[in-house]
Amino acid sequence: MNHLHNWLKLYQSPSVPVQKRALRGLLQHFNELPTSLIMDAFEKLFVGAYSVNLDMLTRELRYIIITYLKHSNNLLFVEPLLPYASHPDNNVRSVACDLLGALQDKRATLVLLQRLTDPIPFVRRSAGFALASIRDPQSADVIRDQYVNSPHEDINVLIALETALRELGVPYTQHPWPIQSDSTRK
């Protein structure tokens, strides 16, 4: 069964397991799928019905949908992904930042700059690397200020900010790397 219409019909099934298997089939057999279908699947996988039970198929589908979005180069996904960068769930915000960075569209700059002050370090890290990928010159001052004013930031966030500054060609003085004393090593 590789006819798009048949797969789409199965995806509309009331049965969640059938929907998941149909989604896997759609993602494996078709290079170009409707934006609405991909965003519906993203919603279900990360915040909706499928996100409740993280079975192996759901984990596989999450990986496949992220890979699909990252490699799509389809700028139609930018606008629908923007709200997810402000979602209450930390993981959703982080994934949205990663995807927006992969799409490299400057429309994402503002929301990513806002995520640099996210309370969760891995979200700030994702936003920093996304901004490095986008290379929007208008983000340089904010990124530099965030870096300069955060010398005790999580090391992963600092690396992301340094990467963004390097990609933008912005000179900066690197913070000293934290040195772990013998008493704090495990």
Within the chain, how many helices (H) and strands (E) appear?
Answer: 10, 0
* Burial of 32 (C-beta count, 10 Å sphere; 0-12/13-18/19+): exposed
The answer to whether the beta carbons of residues 69 and 42 sit under 8 Å apart is: yes
Instruction: Please report the domains of the chain, with CATH numbers, ordered by start residue.
Output: 1-72 (no CATH), 81-172 (1.25.10.10)
What backbone torsions phi and psi does residue 117 show, to the nearest 5 degrees? -110, 15
Read off the pLDDT of residues 45-94 as tens digits, 9 standing for 90 and up.
Answer: 998 877 777 889 989 999 999 999 998 889 999 999 999 999 999 999 99
Q: What is the pLDDT of residues 158-175, one digit of tens each?
A: 999 999 999 999 999 998
Rg of the Cα atoms in the chain: 19
Cα separation of 49 and 44, whole Å? 5
Q: Give the pLDDT of residue 175.
A: 86
Q: Residue 53 gets which letter from DSSP?
A: S
Largest CA distance in the chain: 63
Give the model's pLDDT for residue 185.
Answer: 45
pLDDT at 115 > cutoff 60: yes
**Cβ(130)–Cβ(143) below 8 Å:** no
Q: Are 48 and 41 in contact, with CB atoms under 8 Å apart?
A: no
